[in-house]
Structures are given as C-alpha cells and as structure tokens.
C-alpha cells in the first residue's frame, strides 16, 4: 500500500508588498497529524491557503506525491485533498445533505449526476460527523456548530488523502470538539490520511497531533513533537505569556496552564486604586457574580478553575485574570500557590456555593488562609453537608471559616452591597 506524500519546499507568501510567510519547509506522509500553532497574524491560515491552491506562493513549491500541486488539474487535486476553512458562507437554502453531496463533485464526470454510491458515501460522512438527523434541514437554519460539522462531512465525502482544517473546533461545543477530533484522529490512523490542522487551543493540539509547527514572525519558530515545541520558553517568546507545562495525569499528554498576569486595570475613578475581589468558584457558581462585579467597574480575579469549567469560560469572555488547572485534574501545588498569589493582591475574597471533592479541597484551604489577613465572604445557598464529597474534610474547614469570622451570605446579589461599602 503506497501512502500519499506532501512536501512544502521553501515557500514564501505575500499580500501585495507585505510578506506573510518566509522559508517554510516541511513534509508529511500518510498517517501524519500536523498541528499548526502561532499567534494571530503569524500566517497559519495563509499556510493552509498556499497548500490548498487558494494562494500561490511567490517563492517555492508545494508537491503532492512529488508533483507540483499548482500544475495538476483541479479535479485531481480535489480527489486527493479537502479543506475545512474557518468560515464557509452559504447563502442559499441547500439542505445539509445537498451540501455534503457537493463533496462528491471531484469524482463525477462532466454533466454526471450523483449515483447511489455517491449518496451512500455522503450519508456515511454524515453518520461519522453525527449529522444524519440534519439531512433535510436547510443549511441557513443550522447553528454555527451544526454548519461546521456539515462542512467537515462535505470534506470527508471527497474521500481525501490529505485533509486541511483551519481551527476545526472553533464553533463546536466541547462534546462535539472531542467527537470530531476523535473522528479525525481515527481517519488519520486507519486510513493513513495526512491531517494538517490549525489550532488555537495548544492543549487540544498537544493531545491529538504527532507533530507541531509553531509559527512566529512569518517563519517556523519550532517544529517537532509536542514535547519539543510546547516548552515554557517557546511559549514565552512567541506568545509573551507565562505558562506552566506539565503532563496531564489522565492522558499523559503535554498540558499548558496559563499563569496569571499581575497588572490590573486602573481604578473605577481617577486617582483611586482598583478594589480587587478574588472569587473562589467553580461549576458555574461564580459566573453571575463575575458579571455583576465587572459591570460595577471592580477588578475581579478567580481561581483555581479547571479549564473546561463553566466559570472558566466566563473568565475567557470577560478577560478576568485567573489560575486554571488541567481538565479533570486535582489542584496541583503549583496552581494552589499561584492562586494564593492572586489572593494576596485582593482586597476581599468571595467563596461561592461550590461543591467540594478531594480534587478542589485546596480552594477551601486557600479561603481559610485568606481569612488570616482579609475579609472572606461565604455564599451559602446550600448547606455544606450537601456539597461535601470528602467524607467531612470540607465541612471541617468550612466550619472553621465561619467560626473565625467569615461573613455568611445567601446569594450572589447580597455580595454587591457589601463590596460597594468596602470599596468606598
């Protein structure tokens, strides 16, 4: 069985007079899964466009099975290579099945219509992407995530040997992100398909890709295994971000955790230092409070939050400095110390109505340490006995918090008046 090969030979791309990519050189063969990383504007999408014949490099060549891709007939390229772009604007009311069937076009002769075989291939692609139930729905009525899965199904219907994806999980819920990436990984292994995918999420890239390419200032900054590319030093130089890199205990893959930045915004009024509230939350218990405090102009931090937690998603939308931990992982000593660092900068700490297990017990310990030198507010909507899954360990610490002077409240709304008084 012969595998397809793809070689990018020293390509450079430009828009008008602006150089976008320079000296890009790498190769892939059947079964390779390459993740392309880099900050905004580093040329990730341009690289995919040059490989897919959308944007011809002004220097260098792209070789598909040793043949210049720009010299091959369009249909031959499309029978071997499929693209899932970031956005796929479709303004006509085609059904989802009709969109997927468009993936069969490269396999049809001139004026030839789809056969029963083409229909079966399209339906199989929809089954693989969990979109069969959307077959007769107009594409214009689907959500962004549903449309994304239909576009991926259309690409799979081409039966490509090379699949290019530009941020394939951008519009997808976390369950569909994992579902689609598991599918792509399976095709990569079983069908020996070359996958080249642009990722925004470094951790998803590390989990699924065998080879990572980190772009910076128009060039390849680092190319190799996730362990080689995703180092704290590389991420600092390329993204200007402080991170902790370690192995995830469940997957054994490299995992990157963003460390909190220290600078805060200016205070709500001129000449006044910002009043800082640190929220110890999780499981969605802090989202409402974050919004309330930000709307009133207060500075908010939070932690430790697992990276797939609802409160973690809220922090991303609001731009709140946080300490985060890997998904499904207990709070590590490093992240506990980083959380205490944010607490030291805060004027007051709020502990929300969190359920406690052994994995997040350090958050309760952090609240107890905070109470030694600053006010701690407890939002107690549910008795601790109903939230304690540590055989009484959490209740012991929580009881000490209350007896040592923590202020007990019964809803997030009660926090705001107290914070307003403290901030005066």
pLDDT in tens, 239-264: 888 888 888 777 788 888 776 655 44
Please provide the average confidence, as pLDDT, over all residues in the chain. 87
User: For residue 386, what pLDDT is reported?
Assistant: 86
Long-range contacts, stretch 141-149, CB < 8 angstroms, 24+ apart? 142/96, 143/171, 144/171, 145/171, 145/172, 145/173, 145/176, 146/96, 147/88, 147/90, 147/171, 148/84, 148/172, 149/176, 149/180
User: For residue 391, what pLDDT is reported?
Assistant: 86
Listed residue (202, 208, 196) closest to 165, CA to CA: 196
Q: Name the percent of the chain lying above pLDDT 70.
A: 94
Listed residue (252, 249, 279, 251) closest to 351, CA to CA: 279
Listed residue (293, 413, 294) closest to 353, CA to CA: 413
Q: 18 falls in which pLDDT band (50, 70, 90)?
A: confident
29 touches 194 (CB < 8 A): yes
Q: 270 falls in which pLDDT band (50, 70, 90)?
A: very low
Q: pLDDT tens across 120-138, in order?
A: 999 999 999 989 999 999 9
User: For residue 261, what pLDDT is reported?
Assistant: 55
Asked which of 99-103, 177-181, 315-319, 361-365 is least confident by mean pLDDT, the reply is 315-319
User: For residue 225, what pLDDT is reported?
Assistant: 96
Q: Beta strand pairing status for 81-84 and 162-166?
A: parallel
Query: What is the CATH architecture of 5-230?
Result: 3-Layer(aba) Sandwich (3.40)
User: For residue 347, what pLDDT is reported?
Assistant: 92
On the question of pLDDT at 350 being above 80, the answer is yes
Contacts of 200 (CB under 8 A, 6+ apart): 167, 170
User: For residue 271, what pLDDT is reported?
Assistant: 44
Q: 247 φ, ψ to 5°? A: -95, 135
Give the largest Cα separation in the chain, rounded.
81
Looking at residues 341-365, what average pLDDT do you find?
Answer: 92
On the question of pLDDT at 149 being above 80, the answer is yes
CATH topology of domain 276-423: Rossmann fold (3.40.50)
Q: 19 φ, ψ to 5°? A: -75, 130
The first and second tokens of residue 228, run together, are 């080689």
Question: Which pTM was predicted?
Answer: 0.70
Looking at residues 19-25, what average pLDDT do you find?
Answer: 92
Looking at residues 72-83, what average pLDDT do you find?
Answer: 93
User: For residue 351, what pLDDT is reported?
Assistant: 95
Looking at residues 223-249, what average pLDDT do you find?
Answer: 89
Listed residue (208, 110, 117) closest to 157, CA to CA: 117
Q: Beta strand pairing status for 254-258 and 243-247?
A: antiparallel
- In this chain, the answer to whether the domains covering 5-230 and 276-423 adopt an identical fold is yes
Q: 12 falls in which pLDDT band (50, 70, 90)?
A: very high
On the question of pLDDT at 421 being above 80, the answer is yes
Q: 169 falls in which pLDDT band (50, 70, 90)?
A: confident
Residues pairing with 277 in the sheet: 300, 348
CA atoms of 406 and 378, how far apart (whole Å): 7
User: For residue 257, what pLDDT is reported?
Assistant: 79
Looking at residues 350-363, what average pLDDT do you find?
Answer: 91
8 touches 26 (CB < 8 A): yes
Asked which of 1-10, 222-231, 247-256, 265-274 is least confident by mean pLDDT, the reply is 265-274
On the question of pLDDT at 329 being above 70, the answer is yes
Alpha-carbon distance values, 18 to 15, 63, 284 (Å): 5, 25, 45
Neighbours of 378 (CB within 10 A): 21
On the question of pLDDT at 173 being above 90, the answer is no
Q: Name the percent of the chain lying above pLDDT 90.
A: 54
Looking at residues 395-415, what average pLDDT do you find?
Answer: 91
The first and second tokens of residue 108, run together, are 């049809």
37 touches 213 (CB < 8 A): yes
User: For residue 312, what pLDDT is reported?
Assistant: 72
If residue 379 lies in a helix (H) or strand (E), which one and from where to where? Answer: strand 376-379
On the question of pLDDT at 51 being above 70, the answer is yes
Q: 303 falls in which pLDDT band (50, 70, 90)?
A: confident
The first and second tokens of residue 407, run together, are 């202020």
Give me the residue spans of the domains in the chain: 5-230, 276-423
Looking at residues 220-229, what average pLDDT do you find?
Answer: 96
Looking at residues 216-238, what average pLDDT do you find?
Answer: 94
């Amino acid at each position: 069985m012969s595998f397809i090969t793809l070689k990018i030979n020293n390509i450079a791309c430009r828009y008008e007079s602006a150089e976008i990519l320079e000296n890009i050189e790498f190769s892939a063969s059947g079964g390779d899964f390459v993740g392309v990383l880099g900050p905004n504007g580093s040329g990730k999408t341009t690289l995919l466009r040059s490989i897919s014949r959308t944007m011809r490099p002004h220097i260098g060549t792209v070789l598909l099975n040793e043949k210049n891709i720009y010299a091959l007939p369009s249909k031959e390229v499309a029978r071997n290579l499929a693209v899932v772009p970031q956005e796929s604007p479709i303004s006509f009311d085609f059904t989802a099945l009709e969109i997927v069937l468009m993936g069969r076009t490269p396999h049809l002769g001139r004026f030839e219509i789809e056969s029963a075989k083409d229909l079966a291939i399209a339906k199989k692609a929809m089954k693989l992407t969990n979109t069969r139930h959307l077959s007769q729905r107009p594409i214009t009525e689907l959500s962004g995530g549903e449309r994304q899965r239909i576009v991926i199904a259309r690409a799979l219907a081409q039966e490509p040997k090379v699949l290019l994806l530009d941020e394939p999980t951008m519009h997808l819920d976390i369950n569909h992100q994992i579902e689609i990436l598991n599918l792509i990984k399976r095709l990569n292994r079983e069908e020996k398909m070359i996958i080249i995918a642009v990722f925004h999420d470094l951790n998803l890239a590390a989990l699924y890709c065998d080879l990572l390419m980190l772009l910076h200032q128009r060039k390849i900054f680092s190319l190799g295994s996730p362990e080689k590319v995703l180092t704290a030093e590389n991420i600092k130089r390329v993204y200007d971000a402080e991170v902790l890199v370690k192995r995830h205990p469940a997957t054994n893959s490299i995992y990157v955790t963003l460390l909190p930045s220290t600078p805060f915004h200016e205070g709500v009024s001129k000449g006044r230092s910002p009043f800082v509230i640190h929220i110890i939350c999780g499981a969605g218990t802090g989202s409402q409070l974050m919004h309330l405090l930000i709307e009133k102009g207060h500075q908010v931090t939070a932690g430790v939050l697992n990276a797939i937690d609802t409160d973690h998603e809220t922090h991303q939308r609001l731009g709140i400095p946080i300490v985060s931990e890997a998904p499904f992982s207990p709070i590590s000593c490093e992240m506990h110390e980083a959380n205490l660092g944010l607490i030291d900068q805060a004027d007051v700490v709020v502990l929300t109505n969190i359920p406690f297990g052994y994995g997040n017990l350090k958050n309760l310990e952090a609240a107890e340490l905070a109470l030694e030198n600053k006010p701690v507010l407890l939002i107690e909507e549910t008795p601790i006995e109903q939230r304690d899954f540590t055989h009484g360990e959490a209740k012991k610490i929580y009881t000490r918090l209350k007896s040592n002077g923590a202020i007990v409240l019964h809803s997030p709304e009660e926090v705001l008046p107290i914070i307003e008084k403290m901030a005066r």
